[in-house]
Structure 1
Amino acid sequence: MDEESTLNEFKTWIDERHPSQPEYLQATKEIAKDVIPIFCNNESYRRLNVFKRLCEPERIIHFSVHWLNDANEVEIHNGWRIQHSGLIGPYKGGLRFHPSVNESVLKFLAFEQSFKNALTGIPIGGAKGGSDFNPKGRSETEVMRFCQAFMGELQRHIGPHTDVPAGDINVGSREIGFLYGEYRKIHNRFGGSLTGKDISFGGSHVRTEATGFGLIYMLRAVLKQHKDEIKNKRIGISGAGNVALHAALKSVQVGGQVISLSNSRDCLIKEEGFSESAISWAIKNKAESDNILIDLCEHHGGDWHKDATPWQQPMDIALPCATQNELDKDAAAALLSNGCKYILEGANMPCTNEALDLIEEKGIPFVPGKASNAGGVAISGLEMSQNATFKRATYKKIDDALQDIMLNIHQQCVEAGTADGRVNYAKGANIAAFRRLADAMVAQGV
């Protein structure tokens, strides 16, 4: 079976199936180039058409959310749940509340989530959901009312053995609490229908830190693979949310020098590196701050760069942790010209295709989000297990398990992505995840 013609036929097919959905098309085509050769060389995969089937969400749920704001006005928002693949376990993936949320973004996230979850080794499928509601500037009562209205629609589609949402952008422990409270009232039972819950009612230790910490555990594994270490490395991080701040914290704790944090507007640079106490302060005060980076600058110093990103700065390691497609070809070129040696994605698909092409051409180690930021969903899976057994594991046990999971994902990438003495982490992650999903599909039939 000719691989090039198969890939070209797939691209035409996916364009026709999902027009005007650029994020979803970008995600599926990025994986296709790595897994089509595996597909073509496996008779069972070809016979059951597994790759195209994996590129079609099993279910797209779209609903309206009507709720009453503080001015006693009824507002209407869109809500979605994309249940992409339940092949290896209950659907699992976060909820995002942001004006940029649309079907294409959520489909890409759910698709990526399916591959990411397959890498964890935990029996969980892939999903994503959310709303175009923006909680910024809203009162706590308004956020609560919206969450309750959103869950009033979502609740009929989720459950511990069906679909277990978690948090994502703008959906933290407060929002998860409101969502879970409404689910519990409607169904009159306590269970693991959501993860990311507060520790006081079924949450897990390390869940808040997991994605950022896991990113650094993966980074250390990559450095060890390349006979390198993190000590005194200059690390550029974009974002100022949960992932970015906890990645920064763990980086400093293990000897790295974090020189940047950013938001959608501006960038904070600290040439000598942020201290552990400064990052801990930002984590503690973020919820009460309108712009935690401005406050961090005022309290702990640094150079404020308006309308800038971190990628023009000299650094050894780049960790894009903000949002999709934030690191473009020009940013990648700047990083590489300034001596960046490693790039690991903390966000989901933060590098554009053009940036990825340039990074691959230069041959520096690059780890995609489906591998490097899988720590969050891994701990969500462990929270599901704790809820099912009504037991809570200690912080150390969960943190040790997170390190083991990230090391296992690293090993899968190495085994599936090594050729001519070089590890292609993106290719390895795509192939390893695809094989697990494809084998499950073959075993379950049409």
Structure 2
Amino acid sequence: MTYIHDSIEQLRKSSPAQTEFYQAVEEILESLAPLLEKNPKYRQHSIIERMLEPERQLMFRVTWVDDDGKVQVNKGYRIEFNSALGPYKGGLRFHPSVNASIVKFLGFEQIFKNALTGLPIGGGKGGANFDPKGKSDGEIMRFCQAFMTELYRHIGPNTDVPAGDIGVGTREIGYMFGQYKRIVNRFDGVLTGKSTLWGGSALRVEATGYGCVYFAQHMLEDADDTLEDKKCLVSGSGNVAIYTMEKLYELGAKPIACSDSSGTLYHQAGIDLDLIKEIKQVRSGRLREYLETHDDAEYTASDDYPEDGQQIWRYSADLAFPCATQNELNEQDAQCLLENGVKAVIEGANMPCTNKAIDLLLEQQVLFGPAKAANAGGVATSQLEMAQNSSMTRWSREEVDEKLKDIMQRIYQDAKRTAEEFDAPKNLALGANIAGFRRVADAMIAQGVV
């Protein structure tokens, strides 16, 4: 469609050298062609052009002092992309790879993910090119305080509510919240992912992983199948991967592989999840330490990966859950999954599959759960945390889990129904993109030219 092509080309000119952002935009816009042909109002109101340009882009210097007394300088970001449905909502990522392209792709995806939840939240994202690894608690605290000293003036419980992401957990959220509270002299629900001791929601840490598995459960049920006895590949070993594996075990499946930045662990007997939690969450160690307890497991260092992809996708399994980072599963990896009998791929990370990998999986009729739908459990539970904060109440773990299950079922059904509406049954990527876009676009039209 010429309109979509022209919009992408114009974006490349106005936002040069932002590869990840282009990829996210292309994946979504190309699937919108049938909607745009059916409803010319979106073109008449320039919705694509308006949606591709963030409402506000913030870039700022973050200066802090390390333990040796040396001043360090990092770059901070907050992209407030779209507030048509509610306050900007999206995580903060602290990682050396963070740049404008990464933050914009994450923020753009967040618009549609948040829309799919059906909750009143807009899309945003942020972070900094700061690496918490190897830093002392004092250094991390000073960085977080410096970061919030700049960010606080742009956020608020009804304006922009950041959360955690890679490199930002309960510790970092705590340091940032403390600095925000010190500056504004208010105890606002301005950040989610807080400790349950002071305003956090039960199940927030587990929510993305749990929600991903609930989504997979609905996909399989519609295909007259279940999770029972399914062998699963789960990339990553952070919160999303760990709690994906935990819920898989609870529902009768068996994770047999996971990974970290140093390598891939394969254990045919089933991953010892308690040991993984101890290694990663208690010791902050590396997966190779697993072999000290289980000598029947296999470990492949990242330096020994195949030249054309990731080792974890080379094992035989029934289901694959890419839960690590963007573009971790390419076309060659997808081909390996097909050859090894994988029946479904469910994205737990943000944009973990390349567009060519997605195309191949859909072409071969592998069940595919797109990230903006399958990993929306985290942001959905963040909004539940916002609701608890605003009403000064606290819900039990069981109450939050029931709400999460309902939200994930609603997201799945919405994506499925929309795919069928546009004559693309089982293409949940198209269904999720159109359903999320349509909700945001209709709100933008109703609110006038803003």
TM over 0.5: yes
Q: From 399, 410, 431, give the equivalent of 1:428.
A: 431
Q: From 291, 297, 303, give the equivalent of 2:298.
A: 303
Q: From 378, 384, 390, give the equivalent of 2:386.
A: 384
Q: Which moved more, 1:42-51 or 1:220-229?
A: 42-51
Alpha-carbon contact 2:77-2:128 (below 8 Å) kept: yes
Q: Structure 2: state its 5+ residue gaps.
A: 306-310
Counterpart Cα distance in 1 of 2:204 and 2:146: 26
Counterpart Cα distance in 1 of 2:63 and 2:423: 57
Q: From 80, 93, 107, give the equivalent of 2:104.
A: 107
Q: Structure 1: state its 5+ residue gaps.
A: none
Structure 1 residue 157 displacement after superposition = 0.5
Structure 2: which amino acid aligns with 1:441?
M
Q: From 114, 126, 148, give the equivalent of 1:129.
A: 126
Aligned to 1:116: 113
The yes-or-no answer on 1:220 pairing with 2:214 is: no
Aligned to 1:52: 49
SS of the aligned residue for 1:355 comes to helix
Aligned to 2:234: 237
Alpha-carbon contact 2:318-2:342 (below 8 Å) kept: yes
Aligned to 2:331: 329
Aligned to 1:444: 447
Aligned to 1:279: 273
Alpha-carbon contact 2:231-2:318 (below 8 Å) kept: yes
Structure 2: which amino acid aligns with 1:126?
G
SS of the aligned residue for 1:438 comes to helix
Counterpart Cα distance in 1 of 2:368 and 2:388: 33
Structure 2: which amino acid aligns with 1:299?
T
The yes-or-no answer on 1:188 pairing with 2:185 is: yes
Q: Which moved more, 1:294-303 or 1:329-338?
A: 294-303
SS of the aligned residue for 1:100 comes to coil
Q: From 379, 401, 404, give the equivalent of 2:403.
A: 401
Structure 1 residue 420 displacement after superposition = 5.8
The 3 A distance-change label for structure 1 pair 189 and 300 is farther
Cα-to-partner distance string for 1:358-398 (whole Å, 9 max, x where unaligned): 11221211111000000000000000000000000011000
The 3 A distance-change label for structure 1 pair 378 and 272 is same
Over the aligned positions, Cα root-mean-square deviation in angstroms equals 1.3
Structure 1: which amino acid aligns with 2:283?
S
Aligned to 1:289: 283
Cα-to-partner distance string for 1:166-208 (whole Å, 9 max, x where unaligned): 0000100000000000001101010100000000000000000
Structure 1 residue 299 displacement after superposition = 3.0
The yes-or-no answer on 1:98 pairing with 2:95 is: yes
Counterpart Cα distance in 2 of 1:391 and 1:30: 40
Counterpart Cα distance in 1 of 2:291 and 2:387: 41
SS of the aligned residue for 1:66 comes to strand
Q: From 300, 316, 319, give the equivalent of 1:317.
A: 319
The yes-or-no answer on 1:143 pairing with 2:140 is: yes
Counterpart Cα distance in 2 of 1:289 and 1:261: 17
Counterpart Cα distance in 1 of 2:58 and 2:398: 38
The yes-or-no answer on 1:153 pairing with 2:150 is: yes
Structure 2: which amino acid aligns with 1:122?
L
Structure 1 residue 163 displacement after superposition = 0.3
The 3 A distance-change label for structure 1 pair 318 and 288 is same
Alpha-carbon contact 2:228-2:251 (below 8 Å) kept: yes
Aligned to 1:80: 77
Aligned to 2:166: 169
Counterpart Cα distance in 1 of 2:91 and 2:252: 31
Structure 2: which amino acid aligns with 1:130?
G
Structure 2: which amino acid aligns with 1:438?
A
Counterpart Cα distance in 2 of 1:24 and 1:303: 36
Alpha-carbon contact 1:95-1:128 (below 8 Å) kept: yes
Counterpart Cα distance in 1 of 2:366 and 2:294: 33
Alpha-carbon contact 2:322-2:329 (below 8 Å) kept: yes
Counterpart Cα distance in 2 of 1:354 and 1:218: 23
Cα-to-partner distance string for 1:247-302 (whole Å, 9 max, x where unaligned): 0011011100101010122100011212xxx3134335523424342233323452
SS of the aligned residue for 1:123 comes to coil
Structure 2: which amino acid aligns with 1:382?
L
Structure 1 residue 114 displacement after superposition = 0.6
Identity of aligned residues (%): 47
TM-score scaled by length of structure 2 = 0.96
Aligned to 1:34: 31
Alpha-carbon contact 1:80-1:103 (below 8 Å) kept: yes
Alpha-carbon contact 1:147-1:175 (below 8 Å) kept: yes
Q: From 351, 354, 360, give the equivalent of 1:352.
A: 354
Aligned to 2:308: none
Counterpart Cα distance in 2 of 1:406 and 1:325: 24
SS of the aligned residue for 2:212 comes to helix
SS of the aligned residue for 1:422 comes to coil
Counterpart Cα distance in 2 of 1:74 and 1:138: 14
Counterpart Cα distance in 1 of 2:285 and 2:364: 36
Cα-to-partner distance string for 1:40-90 (whole Å, 9 max, x where unaligned): 322321221112211111111000001111000100000000001111000
Structure 2: which amino acid aligns with 1:38?
L
TM-score scaled by length of structure 1 = 0.96
SS of the aligned residue for 2:247 comes to helix
Counterpart Cα distance in 2 of 1:355 and 1:367: 13
SS of the aligned residue for 1:423 comes to coil
Counterpart Cα distance in 2 of 1:123 and 1:93: 13
